[in-house]
Amino acid sequence: MSLKYDKGTEKSKNWLITETQFQPEALGKVEAVFSLGNGYMGLRSTTEERYANEARGNFVAGTFNKFLGDKEVTELPNAADMTEMIFTLNGDTFQLTDGDILDFDRTLNLKDAELSRHIHWRSPSGSEYKLIFTRFVSLDNKHIIAQKVAITPLSSDLTLTLRSGINGQMTNTGTQHFKEGVLRLYDQKIMKLEAHTTESNIDFVHFSQHAFKKENINFTPKNTIFMDRRKIFTAFEPGIIKKNETVTIEKVSGVYTSRDKDWIDVDTALANFTSTSDYDTLFQAHRNAWESQVWEQYPIQIEGVDFDQLAIRFAIYHLTGMTPVHDNRMNISAKGLSGEGYKGHAFWDTEIFVLPFFTTSNPKIARQLLEYRSLSIPGAVRKAIDNNYEGAMFPWESAWLEDGEVTPVWGAADIITGEPTKIWSGFIEQHITADIAFAVWQYYQFTGDQDFMEKHGYELLFATAVFWQSRLEEKGNRYEITGVVGPDEYKEHVDNNAFTNYMAHWNLEKAIHYHDLLQEKNPELLASLSAKWDLPNNYQKWQEKAAKLYLPQPNTELVIPQDDTYLSKKIIDLAPYKEASQVGALFLDYNLDQVNDMQITKQADVMILLYLLENEFSPEVKQANWDYYEPKTLHDSSLSRATHSILASDLGDKDLAYSMFEKASRIDLGPNMKSSDAGIHAASIGGIWQVVVNGFGGVRMLDGKLYLHPHLPEKWTALQFPIYWKGSRLEIKVTQESTTITNTSDNAVALALNGTEISILANTTFTTN
């Protein structure tokens, strides 16, 4: 894989990711890793010209649609493609698979979120051309995609034709989610394609317009409009371009949907689109938005290893592109907006892996993401009722607020039976309900946002606890949770998964605590929630059942059983699978039923419990469980390594923590050509930020207090990052010798630094030496 990270120098140092060679077999990876997004939409970085194994994709957040048929679940539809441009240069169609590539690079600039390609191409008939392509998805005007192409003929004059427009023939791997709508050309200039999702009835309208310049002089080429099924195209004939002259073509496109909060109608969308300007002006506003909304907000600096600095920027780049900050009815998909993978659905990935970044660095966005869960309580109640439980049973996979569960039922091939494997997560992976409650509490502790708690937070804590009390099963003199999938999805129908039981217990205890608190501080609010959630009755059950809920304890070797039977299962040599370049290599030899009977763990399970509820377990227990489980863990989920790295930091093993971080930060950026075809890994990207700030930076919130205990990797000389604590922005700098904390707010902030309680006065800097 020919990705390079060191092409940026001076101001662009550690900002550029460059593909130095055209590799048709790596198209999918680069399309996802280089994808552009602004939280409203995500655009895979397929090229203007088309290739056989590309996967073009443009996804608008929250526009879910369900195709006909029982086997289908709602998914984020692949909207019309507005980026296609087919160039014919002196009769040769521009295609990198034809002719000769004399020079090539494709670069994603993380700083201003612009993608560029520089190509020196010799066509099959022997003429040479320089082509420069640039594009961005505007962070300033969320509807806009802008492209610019500059072509210079180097060996002879050029007769150019361009076919460019909007192509609504896109599908989600074969599934067409749109009914055809109106096609139209306005004023001989603006192409329009309307489309409507087949089931959810969302109106989409797409516009594209072009501008031509020869040696910086605008001109209008001869053009002919073509319409086809779900397609509107224009053929442009700009005449002759002299040798060494440059023709520049700008294509500005926009997508608007009836899901937009400010949607009025197609005419208003057209008026908005018409008022947009040229590439350079749009780009200036876009670049300024990245600077002020992103890089000034999260100026994380790592000194010592250039790649690591780039990797954390890459994480923040995608965290920005994937998050629909404009609308609290939407959430983050497990692949962001960068591919069809996981159908655009939200998982626990948001609350446990991504949300800590926002909670700590941009609480307003964290709040909105949690509001999504609050607004989707109706769907969670439906799921509980469908399963004969009470309260809010959050879906394992979530899309529309009211839908409830949307996890597909059938997955990958079973090599033994030859049939698809059943996905049980939607039925019995239930820990997500407690994970959401945990994220609510974590947000509250970091921010002190009382308004959020009163409008959403208390209800989320109570509604989830109502679910758990109805879920617990009385067995003898204790309560148990049987028949679940824990975080380790290689173990199905297990009893008393430690993570699930502890988190359910935590959820019940927190509900009891806040119930008591509201009784004293806000009885009116408690009364209104009581009526809705039958709290008097539930409160009693929470107390009785939490006290008797079975929490698997460390055994004589201090190992916490992952579930009731895990420790008695067969152990096999995992070395070949651990070293395999592809995840899931195990399933080429075994099926899931067989793996169920072995001590093989897909991802952090007991380990994530030790991280989230860290002060309930001693360092000895953490070490013993690391030593027991890590060798049995395949890290087949991208969520796994970040958690392991943080725990290794806690255990004081800096080298191990760093080597886990190195692997985590290469899940998308590393050499594996196939790792990201279906999209980037949102949770892993959130996890990378957690490794840096919570692991190496040592930031923790325990029992409502802020802790800082940095463990800087040996190779780093400095780490700098901001965090918010109860509305105060703290700027933290850690070096091998000292820690410096600047409190930029007007309030004093108390925290425990390396075990010592300190208070940093308003607008002052504290340093350890």
Q: Which two tokens stand for residue 474?
A: 């009385």
Query: Binding of ligand BGC at residue 637 (CB under 6 A)?
Result: yes
Q: Which residue has the tokens 């006065």?
A: 761
Binding window for ligand BGC (CB under 6 A); candidates: 208-216, 229-237, 340-348, 652-660: 340-348
Minimum distance between the CB of residue 432 and ligand BGC, rounded to whole angstroms?
9
Tell me whether residue 80 or residue 667 sits nearer to ligand BGC (CB atom): 667
Query: Which of 425, 557, 562 lies closest to 502 in space, CA to CA?
Result: 562
Q: Please state, in angstroms and rounded to a whole number, the distance separating the CA atoms of residues 380 and 355.
A: 20
Q: Please state, in angstroms and rounded to a whole number, the distance separating the CA atoms of residues 202 and 207.
A: 17
Q: Please state, in angstroms and rounded to a whole number, the distance separating the CA atoms of residues 103 and 118.
A: 8
**602 among the known binding-site residues?**
yes
Query: Binding of ligand BGC at residue 342 (CB under 6 A)?
Result: yes
**349 among the known binding-site residues?**
yes
Query: Binding of ligand BGC at residue 128 (CB under 6 A)?
Result: no
Q: Please state, in angstroms and rounded to a whole number, the distance separating the CA atoms of residues 520 and 518.
A: 5
Is residue 81 within a helix (H) or strand (E), and if so which, with residue range?
Answer: none
Out of 94, 233, 314, 347, which residue is the one contacting ligand BGC (CB under 6 A)? 347
In a 3-state reduction of DSSP, which class is residue 271? helix
Binding window for ligand BGC (CB under 6 A); candidates: 280-288, 346-354, 362-370, 503-511: 346-354
Minimum distance between the CB of residue 429 and ligand BGC, rounded to whole angstroms?
8
Minimum distance between the CB of residue 675 and ligand BGC, rounded to whole angstroms?
13
- Residues ≥6 apart with Cβ < 8 Å to 419: 413
State the number of binding residues for ligand BGC (CB under 6 A).
Answer: 12
CA end-to-end span of the chain: 45
Minimum distance between the CB of residue 401 and ligand BGC, rounded to whole angstroms?
20
**569 among the known binding-site residues?**
no
Q: Please state, in angstroms and rounded to a whole number, the distance separating the CA atoms of residues 465 and 368.
A: 22
Q: Which two tokens stand for residue 227?
A: 């319409």
Tell me whether residue 350 or residue 743 sits nearer to ligand BGC (CB atom): 350
Minimum distance between the CB of residue 398 and ligand BGC, rounded to whole angstroms?
11
Minimum distance between the CB of residue 349 and ligand BGC, rounded to whole angstroms?
5
Query: Binding of ligand BGC at residue 650 (CB under 6 A)?
Result: no
Sign of CA dihedral 395, 398, 403, 406: negative
Tell me whether residue 84 or residue 489 sits nearer to ligand BGC (CB atom): 489
Minimum distance between the CB of residue 40 and ligand BGC, rounded to whole angstroms?
22
**Max intra-chain CA distance, the chain:** 89
Tell me whether residue 334 or residue 693 sits nearer to ligand BGC (CB atom): 334
Tell me whether residue 314 or residue 533 sits nearer to ligand BGC (CB atom): 314
Q: Please state, in angstroms and rounded to a whole number, the distance separating the CA atoms of residues 515 and 138.
A: 45
Q: Which residues of 441-534 form beta strands (DSSP E)?
A: 473-475, 478-480
Interface of this chain with ligand BGC, residues 262 to 321, rule: CB under 6 A: none
Query: Which of 462, 136, 521 lies closest to 317 in space, CA to CA?
Result: 136
Q: Please state, in angstroms and rounded to a whole number, the distance separating the CA atoms of residues 469 and 467.
A: 6
Out of 612, 683, 701, 712, which residue is the one contacting ligand BGC (CB under 6 A)? 683
Is residue 287 within a helix (H) or strand (E), and if so which, with residue range?
Answer: helix 279-289
Out of 22, 348, 502, 629, which residue is the one contacting ligand BGC (CB under 6 A)? 348
- Residues ≥6 apart with Cβ < 8 Å to 529: 458, 459, 462, 518, 535
Q: Please state, in angstroms and rounded to a whole number, the distance separating the CA atoms of residues 370 and 363.
A: 10
**Helices and strands in the chain, H and E counts:** 22, 33
- Residues ≥6 apart with Cβ < 8 Å to 695: 642, 645, 646, 648, 649, 650, 657, 661, 711
Tell me whether residue 83 or residue 603 sits nearer to ligand BGC (CB atom): 603
Binding window for ligand BGC (CB under 6 A); candidates: 280-288, 343-351, 440-448, 733-741: 343-351
Q: Please state, in angstroms and rounded to a whole number, the distance separating the CA atoms of residues 496 and 473.
A: 11
- Residues ≥6 apart with Cβ < 8 Å to 598: 569, 570, 571, 572, 590
Interface of this chain with ligand BGC, residues 376 to 405, rule: CB under 6 A: none
Is residue 393 within a helix (H) or strand (E), and if so which, with residue range?
Answer: none
Q: Which two tokens stand for residue 680?
A: 């980037």
Q: CA separation (Å) from 736 to 305, 312, 706, 769? A: 14, 19, 21, 12
Would you give the binding string for ligand BGC spanning residues 146-185, x where CB under 6 A is met? ----------------------------------------
Binding window for ligand BGC (CB under 6 A); candidates: 206-214, 345-353, 478-486, 586-594: 345-353
Binding window for ligand BGC (CB under 6 A); candidates: 118-126, 146-154, 347-355, 499-507: 347-355
Minimum distance between the CB of residue 352 and ligand BGC, rounded to whole angstroms?
9
Please identify every residue annotated as catalytic: 489
Out of 141, 376, 603, 625, which residue is the one contacting ligand BGC (CB under 6 A)? 603
Sign of CA dihedral 707, 713, 718, 724: negative
Residue 69 has φ and ψ, to the nearest 5°, of 110, 150
Tell me whether residue 205 or residue 370 sits nearer to ligand BGC (CB atom): 370
CB 660 within 8 A of CB 645: yes
Which CB contacts under 8 angstroms, 24+ apart, belong to 1-5? 1/26, 1/29, 1/670, 1/671, 1/672, 1/673, 2/26, 3/30, 3/33, 3/669, 3/671, 5/306, 5/307, 5/310, 5/669
CB 310 within 8 A of CB 345: no
Binding window for ligand BGC (CB under 6 A); candidates: 270-278, 342-350, 375-383, 616-624: 342-350
Interface of this chain with ligand BGC, residues 475 to 504, rule: CB under 6 A: 487, 489
> Cα 238 to chain center, whole Å?
42
Tell me whether residue 204 or residue 490 sits nearer to ligand BGC (CB atom): 490
Tell me whether residue 432 or residue 518 sits nearer to ligand BGC (CB atom): 432
Minimum distance between the CB of residue 486 and ligand BGC, rounded to whole angstroms?
10
Minimum distance between the CB of residue 719 and ligand BGC, rounded to whole angstroms?
27
The type of residue at 443 is Y
Minimum distance between the CB of residue 735 and ligand BGC, rounded to whole angstroms?
35
In a 3-state reduction of DSSP, which class is residue 614? helix
Query: Binding of ligand BGC at residue 605 (CB under 6 A)?
Result: no
Query: What is the DSSP code (8-state) at residue 491?
Result: S
Pairing of strands 231-237, 222-228: antiparallel
Minimum distance between the CB of residue 43 and ligand BGC, rounded to whole angstroms?
21
Out of 252, 334, 706, 708, which residue is the one contacting ligand BGC (CB under 6 A)? 334
Binding window for ligand BGC (CB under 6 A); candidates: 48-56, 140-148, 254-262, 341-349: 341-349
Residue 196 has φ and ψ, to the nearest 5°, of -135, 130
Tell me whether residue 603 or residue 739 sits nearer to ligand BGC (CB atom): 603
Tell me whether residue 511 or residue 598 sits nearer to ligand BGC (CB atom): 598
Tell me whether residue 212 or residue 348 sits nearer to ligand BGC (CB atom): 348
* Residue 393: burial class (beta carbons within 10 Å; 0-12, 13-18, 19+): buried
Out of 560, 600, 610, 639, which residue is the one contacting ligand BGC (CB under 6 A)? 639
Binding window for ligand BGC (CB under 6 A); candidates: 75-83, 118-126, 344-352, 585-593: 344-352
Task: Mark the binding-site residues for substrate, compressed into ranges.
Answer: 348-349, 602-603
Task: Mark the binding-site residues, compressed into ranges.
Answer: 348-349, 602-603
Site for ligand BGC, rule CB under 6 A:
334, 342, 347-349, 487, 489, 602-603, 637, 639, 683
